Amino acid sequence: MGPEKCFSAVNGGFETRSLQKGRSLVRHFQTLLGKTRAGLDLNQFRNGWNTTQNREFGVRRCYSTEETPESSTEVEVELLHPLLVQKAEQLKVEYNGLAQEMSSESGSGFDQVKATRMSRLGFVVDLFDQYESMEKEYQELLHLLNDPSLKEEAESELKSVESNLTALTATLQSKLVPTNPFVDKACILELRPGVGGSEAAIFANDLLTMYENYAIKNKWDTRMISITKTPAGNGIVEAIFNINAAGAYERLQYEGGVHRVQRIPETETKGRVHTSTAAVVVLPTEVMEPGADESKAGEEAERTFQANEVRVDVMRARGAGGQHVNTTDSAVRLTHIPSGIVVVIQDERSQHKNKAKAFTILRARLDEIERQEKVREERSKRTAQVTTTERSDKIRTYNYPQNRITDHRCGSTTYKLDDVVKGEINEFNEVVDQMDAFAKTEAMKQLLEDQASSL
């Protein structure tokens, strides 16, 4: 790292900044803090987070490079997301109210419901009190760094406070936010070209390569379930791809939707920029044990269906079959009768394997539909209007001439398209993180709007 100092108060809504030579990072940080401490409105400081939307969830990173610009010591602490602070404060108000009621009603008997609620809230309120005092201590320590005579002690003290604070944040967070049951899942990706003819098929293939590389670089176990290439060989008609690694779904869950590309196709002679699209579907799946039998998974999936729920069609339905014919056509077509969903797999020479794969995919698709149903139902229970973030038509644009990727859902833009499409972990993660932060903020907003908050 050069002599330039860098500062990133992620949680506060400040972009990463390069400070001018000679200026002290810590001092800069303190000026900011000074402002907030001077009562300039802590909430505004916190709410800044919402509007930039492109920062990581709940993490404030602070790189201290004072005096030793070459060997920067990274100080990292996780603070509670502002919206969660808000929620905790609400709960505290409720708790105090209940406490008061209970004591004033002491004569009129014991209310079991209120008591249970109170003891539940008490646990969180207690944690939150600890958190607040710890955060205060933390900020005071940051102040002390200014004083050369106290700096050393302050620094060592800071270390322990930071780790305590981070741990508290994690506990509180888990109490305040319902946990996502899908974080540990593996996933299946389905890719298909959209509008734009052969260029769309090429783009779909590019996306596939991106995901494959990203998975490989993460050392994730991957498996092509089914792929149909275009006759030219440089595009795909369809690809179904399994990443069998816990956490793969967590990283790729936002990939579902229509991706749009703007570039000059290789075949374009006049140098015009074309726009085409490709569609991606992401399905959460269970993680299979390494070396587990693929067809066994299919058999298990098959067992989850009723006898007449799925129609299985195999090729060459005409003629006597058996010893009379020797077919190498092993395609299997499943029709899920209640929903009309059709899965065709013709990838393997083995009909048995094709059938197993088809059942695995059918199960995953139906599970995903069910999951989305549930989400929608819960949301409509809470608010009359359904947010448009989900399933908006174009989720992302890949603009090659500008080397730019824009995510239309969270509004973030990066100019590292080349690295992202190569599946480079850091660059790809950046795109995901921005969307993740956005989605989580949205989820938390929902949570706060939810008056009948369950705890």
Residue 236 near residue 230 (C-beta atoms within 8 A): yes
* N- to C-terminal Cα separation, the chain: 45
Kindly tell me which of 296 and 376 has the beta carbon lying closer to another protein.
296
Q: How far is the CB of 297 from another protein (least distance, A)?
A: 12
Tell me which amino acid residue 206 is: D
- Our measurement of the distance from residue 67's CA atom to the centroid of its chain's CA atoms, rounded to an integer in Å, reads 37
Tell me which DSSP letter residue 238 carries.
E
Say how far apart CA 178 and CA 163 lie, in whole Å.
Answer: 23
* Three-class SS state of 25: helix
CA-wise closest residue to 25 among 187, 145, 193, 165:
145
Strands, E assignment, 87-221: 186-193
For residue 297, give the nearest of 245, 345, 361, 343 by alpha carbon. Answer: 361
Residues that bind another protein in the complex, under the rule CB under 8 A = 293, 295, 299, 312-314, 316-317, 319-328, 330, 348-353
Shortest Cβ distance from residue 294 to another protein (Å)? 9
Q: Which is nearer to another protein, 184 or 300 (CB)?
A: 300
Which lies closer to another protein via its Cβ, residue 212 or residue 347?
347
CB 293 to another protein: min, Å: 7
Distance CA 393, CA 19 (A): 40
Distance, CA of 60 to CA of 437 (rounded, Å): 13
Residue placing its CB nearer to another protein in the complex, 148 or 322: 322
* Alpha-carbon 427 to chain mean position: 15
Find the shortest distance in angstroms from Cβ 189 to another protein.
25
Smaller CB separation from another protein, 260 or 363: 363
Task: Give the nearest distance from C-beta 226 to another protein in angstroms.
Answer: 16
Q: Which is nearer to another protein, 219 or 324 (CB)?
A: 324
Give the type of residue at 253. Answer: Q
Q: For another protein, which is the closer residue by CB, 117 or 353? A: 353
Q: Are the C-beta atoms of residues 157 and 143 closer than 8 Å to each other?
A: no
Nearer Cβ to another protein (349/381) = 349
CB of 319 to another protein, least distance (A): 7
Q: What is the DSSP letter of 421?
A: H
DSSP string, 236-281: EEEEEEEE-STTHHHHHGGG-EEEEEEE--TT-SS---EEEEEEEE
The least distance separating another protein from the CB of residue 232, rounded to whole angstroms, comes to 23
Let me know the angle formed at the C-alpha of 294 by 290 and 296, rounded to the nearest 5 degrees: 110
CB of 96 vs another protein, minimal distance in Å: 58
